[in-house]
Amino acid sequence: MTEHPQKPVSKAKPTTTRPKKSYRASQKREMTRAFKQDAFESAAWKVFSSIGLDAATVRDIVALSNVSPGSFYNYYKTKEAIFDIILVKVAQRVRGAARLARSEEDNLDAMLQKSQYAAFRELLSIHGAPHFLELNQHHIRAKLFNMSETREMLDDLKQNLLRVVPMKNTSPERMDFIAAAVLTTALEGLLYIARNPLVDIDQTSRLTAGMTAAGIRAAAAAAG
């Protein structure tokens, strides 16, 4: 009887199981974290725009958020930390609005006026922003020029100034000063509007733009 060689039995490849449960659990944790952070930041905004950072306590924020104190300390540690996060988000919104308005203009006066008007309008579109600015202006002044968002805002501004004004001979240090002066004047305009809610923002933006445009032209002329 002829024996036929048997075919080797192929080993079944081990099937890899996808960690569905682990992924879902991780996704759920991230969603929960995002939900809690939104609740804390919304509550903090209300607190900071009603009584200010100085008078606020972590307890005030936690009570308004309806989230546990332990979660607050896990995410933020201090009221100053959540204040800084909120300030960055506000600065990002204002920067985006101003940058878009600047990019559409090739005339110095129009560029400054439209960008500052856009910044004023964007800020005033945020509920509670005027009170937030007025109550926390000393903290905003102290933190503003140390924020990376502000440095990016100043870089954007300098590029646009060089685009519309002949300032090639102006030193980098003087350009830094000019851009900072423009931003500081715009901030004063915002604070003026915050204290006087019925002020016309178009007129205010024309005033602040006119003041800074005159200074920029003088600086460009002095640089030759």
Residues 105 and 182 placed together within one structural domain of the fold = yes
Residues 55 and 99 placed together within one structural domain of the fold = no
Residue 71 has pLDDT above 80, yes or no: yes
Condensed to tens digits (0 to 9), the pLDDT of residues 121-170 reads 999 899 999 999 999 999 999 998 889 889 999 999 999 999 999 887 88
The answer as to whether 206 is a domain residue is yes
pTM for the structure as a whole = 0.82
Residues 99 and 40 placed together within one structural domain of the fold = no
Residues 67 and 99 placed together within one structural domain of the fold = no
Per the structure, how many domains does the chain have? 2
Residues 58 and 111 placed together within one structural domain of the fold = no
Condensed to tens digits (0 to 9), the pLDDT of residues 33-60 reads 899 999 999 999 999 999 999 999 999 9
Residues 69 and 90 placed together within one structural domain of the fold = no
Handedness of CA 120, 125, 131, 137 (dihedral sign): negative
Write down the pLDDT at residue 166: 85
The answer as to whether 91 is a domain residue is yes
pLDDT band for position 222 (cuts 50, 70, 90): confident
Tokens of 131: 């009170």
Residues 65 and 124 placed together within one structural domain of the fold = no
User: Amino acid identity, residue 77?
Assistant: K
Write down the pLDDT at residue 198: 84
Question: SS3 of 181, please?
Answer: helix
Q: Range of 73's domain?
A: 30-77
User: Which carries the bigger pLDDT value, residue 197 or residue 64?
Assistant: 64
Q: How many residues does the chain have?
A: 224
Residues 153 and 210 placed together within one structural domain of the fold = yes
Question: SS3 of 4, please?
Answer: coil
